[in-house]
Amino acid sequence: MIKVEGISHNFGSMRVLHDIWFEVPEGEVFGFIGPNGAGKTTTLRMMATLLEPAQGRILVDGYDVVERPREVRKILGFMPDDFGVYEYVTVQEYLDFFAAAYAITPTARRRTVDAVMELTDLVQLRDRLVQAMSKGMKQRLAIARTLLHDPKVLILDEPANGLDPRARIEMRDLIEQLQQMGKTVLLSSHILTELSDMVSSVAILEKGRVLASGPVGDIGRKLRPDRAVKLRLLEYPDGCTTPFKALPDVVDAERGPDGDLRIMYQGGDETVAQIVTAAVHAGFSVVRVEPERDDLEHIFLEVTRGELQ
């Protein structure tokens, strides 16, 4: 849905983006990760037609953002990091204003605004002045605004920034809902825990360069071809690692610092099933099986190798 092809950009004499390439597949929730100052917002602003890349190009649904900005704006909703709102209008007036700005006809406007308020859970607040809303509510209002023209792609720059835990959960639910509606969502954040539950693919950016991009699992596998599963047994007899070491796909088995068995293996879920079967055949009482996940935090640290500013 979004193709970023070799973009570079300079602010004055400082090069902020270096030959960035990545692709956001259709219908995915894609995480754009990087520390502050990595170039995330610059890249997102380019995608949103607000900035022209010095080199390279960005295609959104096949449209070049520089050559076809109008078409791109029709299919894209962008919520900037430091978005502002009009203070002296009510929620409904605010959304009605943007619906009119999107050239939605007066008859369809009312319906659209109601539907978007319903989706973003703003119906109760329809007559409240925007001035009197909390940060989380304003964030939801900003997302509601980006949804008015029913865009295929949503770009949300730091959507959970400054939200309390409850508002973050609500935001995550909303994003899941949007994904279920078939929208492609691109989220940026420097807080990995914000994204870890939501995204299926990521691009990791640091100092203006993409260090890795693709599905989280693929990146994890590339970084660590050997995967691991932790087994907690009721008892750990001597030589409890032996039955597992005998399995063809198991690379190693050892007792971890927490006492659990840590079994490194190659392959997929079928190997995990073999490991569990071997444990049962060996007469071990298995209490818990916990495959180590390719969590974002781990991947990020692996990819950036501690070079964070």
Question: Number of C-alpha atoms within 13 angstroms, CB side, residue 56?
Answer: 21
Phi, psi of 164 (to 5 degrees): -80, 165
Could you say whether residue 150 binds other proteins (CB under 8 A)?
Answer: no
For residue 13, state whether it binds other proteins (rule: CB under 8 A): no
Listed ranges 55-63, 118-126, 191-199, 238-246: which one lies at the site for other proteins (CB under 8 A): 55-63
- Beta-carbon-side half-sphere exposure of residue 22 (alpha carbons within 13 Å): 24
R_g of the chain, CA atoms, integer Å:
24
Binding mask 103-132 for other proteins (x = CB under 8 A): x-xx----------------------x---
**163-202 binders of other proteins (CB under 8 A):** none
Please identify, among the stretches 64-72, 166-174, 251-259, 275-283, the one whose residues bind other proteins according to the rule CB under 8 A: 64-72
Nearer to other proteins, 159 or 262 (CB): 159
Residue 22 φ/ψ, nearest 5 degrees? -170, 170
Binding of other proteins by 11 (CB under 8 A):
no
Question: How far apart (Å, rounded) are the C-alpha atoms in residues 35 and 207?
Answer: 8
CA angle (274, 275, 277) in 5-degree steps: 65
* Phi and psi based region of residue 212 (left: phi greater than 0; alpha: psi -120 to 50; beta: remaining): beta
d(CA 18, CA 206): 10
Please identify, using beta-carbon distances, which residue of 130 and 205 lies nearer to other proteins. 130
Query: In the complex with other proteins, which residue's Cβ is closer, 5 or 114?
Result: 5
Report the residue number, 78 or 300, with the smaller CB distance to other proteins: 78
**Residue at token pair 């973050």:** 168
In the 8-state DSSP scheme, what is residue 46? H
Q: How far is the CB of 260 from other proteins (least distance, A)?
A: 34
Q: Which of 12, 13, 14, 70 binds other proteins (CB under 8 A)?
A: 70
Stretch that binds other proteins, among 28-36, 97-105, 173-181, 293-301 (CB under 8 A): 97-105
Residue 177, CA atoms < 13 Å, CB-side half-sphere:
14
Contact footprint for other proteins (CB under 8 A):
5-6, 21, 48-50, 52, 55-57, 66-70, 73-74, 76, 78, 80, 82-89, 93, 96-98, 100-103, 105-106, 129, 142, 145, 149
